[in-house]
Amino acid sequence: MTGTFLPYGRQSIDDDDIAAVAAVLKSDALTNGPAVDAFERALVEVTGAGDVVACSSGTTALHLAVLGLGLQPGDQVIVPTLTFLATANCARYVGAEVVFADVDPDTGLMTPRHLEDAIARARPGAAKVAIPVHLNGQCCDMEGLKAVADRHGISLIEDACHAVGSTYPGPSNARVTVGSSRASVAACLSFHPVKTIAMGEGGAVTTNDPKMAAAMRRLRSHGMERTPAQPVYPEYAQDADGSANPWFYEMTDVGWNFRATDIQCALGLSQLKKLNRFIARRQEVVARYDAALRPFAPLIRPIARVGGDPAWHLYVALIDFAALGKSRAVVMRALSAAGIGTQVHYFPVHLQPYYQERYGKQDLPGANAYYARCLSLPLFPAMTDADVDRVVAALAQIVK
Ligand SMILES: *Cc1c(COP(=O)(O)O)cnc(C)c1O
């Protein structure tokens, strides 16, 4: 093994991040304090969304979004099968059922055609929401998906956990920033350490719908509201003279504790200041991989590109393991022995025992073809050009 182990993804934490967290630790508010508001305002700036609700993870962001839309048991949610578990699980949290959509075999993205096909398999009228996933940081065709969704009266929630900072072409090729929710009702972000911005655990929902934002803010904190504009029982809320009772809070819906702490938000805020630098370095690393892997085609090739300006979360190579005569596990172990971490994103969710038992066996050939070939190579901002060359040289050894 040469040099240090290169994981497939890693956070970049500097002294200023540590100082930002330490400042919160020395302050009065470890949670429910000013860092949460400041982080939400910064995300409004970065995404162009009308409002942002910070929360404890990408998973709780998805949960809040489906709650905010009022999904009910019996409703159906369309989810691409090539994603992390949480995209599908959020439907089950509210008792809704999942309809798995297939994806493009070369990008892993759900296209308008795949959405149409999933709607055709849904119970008539039951599909209320679809959750396109901006896999690897590359964006789905949101305009195309919205055209299909509108025709069927379906709302879109973007799973943008891979894609903070990505942009995609909108109408007349104007750049649309992920999270501005031009074509969706909400976008969900994750700030898990392997994602582009690290909070330890953390997430956020962006939306342009003030009522949905207010509902998600209530539900993120037990369903309670301290100063409701119109309390249900004014005699509890107010003193005899009509002034608000200082201890009062009102709960009209059962909620959760999905809050992000000030400790997490201070880290997120500090990291957000570096988002553009992180994205630029990720794009340089991707360009270097693309060029270095070109001679290996068609045995190894990068995922297909759909345009836009992705803030790459993962670098996925599609490898024809059958033609290579080595299994993916053999390749992963050989790379690991050379000090190189890799991962598979993802095993299709419809094949998980829980979902296969619930919905039966299904054939989603695009997802199967993507899954059979995908391997995520190391990608993080602190990687050097020499690190990239080392990964490609190790692959060359295995392939030759
Ligand atoms: C990471 C991830 C999530 C969940 O985010 P957490 O912050 O880990 O809860 C959801 N969807 C996708 C596509 C993800 O990659």
The pLDDT tens digits for 39-48 are: 999 999 999 9
Percent of the chain with pLDDT over 70: 99
| Fold for the domain defined by 15-272 | Aspartate Aminotransferase; domain 2 (3.40.640)
pLDDT higher than threshold 60 for residue 236: yes
Query: 397 alpha carbon to ligand 1 midpoint, in Å?
Result: 33
> Is 273 an annotated catalytic residue?
no
In the CATH scheme, what is the code of domain 275-399? 3.90.1150.10
Which residue has the CA at smallest separation from atom 6 of ligand 1? 58
The most distant pair of C-alpha atoms in the chain lies apart, rounded to whole Å, by: 84
Q: Where are the domains of the chain?
A: 15-272, 275-399
Distance of CA 56 to the CA centre of its chain: 13
Which residue, chain included where needed, has tokens 């899954």?
371
Query: 65 alpha carbon to ligand 1 midpoint, in Å?
Result: 14
* pLDDT recorded at residue 3: 65
Spot the catalytic one: 128, 195, 274, 326: 195
Q: Which residues contact 3 (CB under 8 A, 6 or more apart)?
A: 339, 387, 390
Confidence category of residue 374, pLDDT binned at 50, 70, 90: very high
314 pocket-lining for ligand 1 (C-beta < 6 Å)? no
Query: 58 alpha carbon to ligand 1 midpoint, in Å?
Result: 5
Can you tell me which atom of ligand 1 is nearest the CA of 194? 1
Query: 236 alpha carbon to ligand 1 midpoint, in Å?
Result: 41
The pTM score is: 0.97
- Encode pLDDT of 91-127 as tens digits: 999 999 999 999 999 999 999 999 999 999 999 999 9
- Which of 63, 79, 161, 178 gets mutated to test ligand 1 (max ligand atoms within 8 A of its CB)? 161
* pLDDT recorded at residue 317: 98
- In our burial notation (b when 16+ CB lie closer than 10 A, e otherwise), range 91-122 reads bebbebbbbbbbbbbbbbbbbbebbebbbeeb
The reply to whether 15-272 and 275-399 are identical in fold is no
